């Protein structure tokens, strides 16, 4: 929004969306919110059509929805937990990409940024098999998109961050301390990275970015955190 974009945010919880809209609007940014469950292909298509109907185009899609579960090792993973992660972390990304594709193809222009994870490049017991698998798949999905859609002038980037200080960390078997979280990437760091990718000229495609905290805990504690 600070870069002059008209931003439409989405998510399942209207109260959280309303808080985000109020916060960003205070700084003068143009922002709207639409309730969306990314695990529903029909919802994703409906929201994309609403945006095009109101604004005429979709220039940028940022897929940042992602979850994990407390039971994340082979000892205690459940089918329900696996399905939840696949539905949101992988299928949700594909549904939203597919939903914006008609508009972007018609424009012959558009950028998609899929937020994956360090776990999408490096297998780790810390994140568990389900999360790690979905994030590896998002990386493959992003590259396959570029292989097919470059001819239409479209670009996708897989942004794979290490630990980011967000509420999802509270779901870990051993939540990180406040001191540890202060050393992690902050949401603002990813915001700056996303703005950088989105600002690149149409002839440049940043296929992927792997970013981590300088104090990367996976280097010192490669098992369960």
The Cα–Cα gap between 104 and 155 comes to 10
Q: CB-side exposure of 225: number of CA atoms within 13 Å? A: 18
Sheet of strand 154-161: strand arrangement: 60-63, 110-115, 154-161, 208-211
> What positions carry a catalytic annotation?
131
């Amino acid at each position: 929004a600070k870069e002059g974009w008209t931003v439409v945010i989405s998510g399942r919880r209207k109260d959280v969306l309303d808080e985000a809209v109020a916060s960003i609007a205070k700084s003068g940014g143009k922002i709207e919110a639409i309730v969306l469950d990314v695990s529903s292909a029909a919802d994703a298509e409906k929201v994309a059509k609403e945006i095009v109907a109101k604004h005429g185009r979709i220039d940028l899609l940022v897929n940042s929805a992602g979850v994990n579960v407390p039971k994340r090792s082979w000892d205690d993973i459940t089918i329900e937990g696996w399905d939840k992660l696949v539905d949101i972390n992988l299928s949700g990304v594909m549904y939203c990409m597919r939903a914006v594709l008609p508009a972007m193809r018609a424009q012959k222009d558009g950028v998609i940024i899929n937020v994956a994870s360090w776990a999408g490049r490096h297998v780790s017991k810390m994140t568990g098999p389900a999360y790690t698998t979905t994030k590896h798949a998002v990386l493959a999905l992003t590259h396959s998109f570029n292989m097919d859609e470059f001819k239409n002038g479209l670009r996708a980037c897989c942004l794979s961050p290490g630990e980011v200080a967000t509420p999802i960390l509270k779901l870990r078997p051993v939540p990180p301390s406040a001191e540890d979280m202060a050393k992690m990437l902050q949401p603002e760091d990813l915001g700056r990275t996303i703005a950088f990718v989105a600002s690149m000229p149409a002839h440049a495609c940043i296929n992927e970015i792997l970013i981590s905290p300088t104090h990367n805990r996976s280097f010192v504690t490669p098992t369960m955190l």
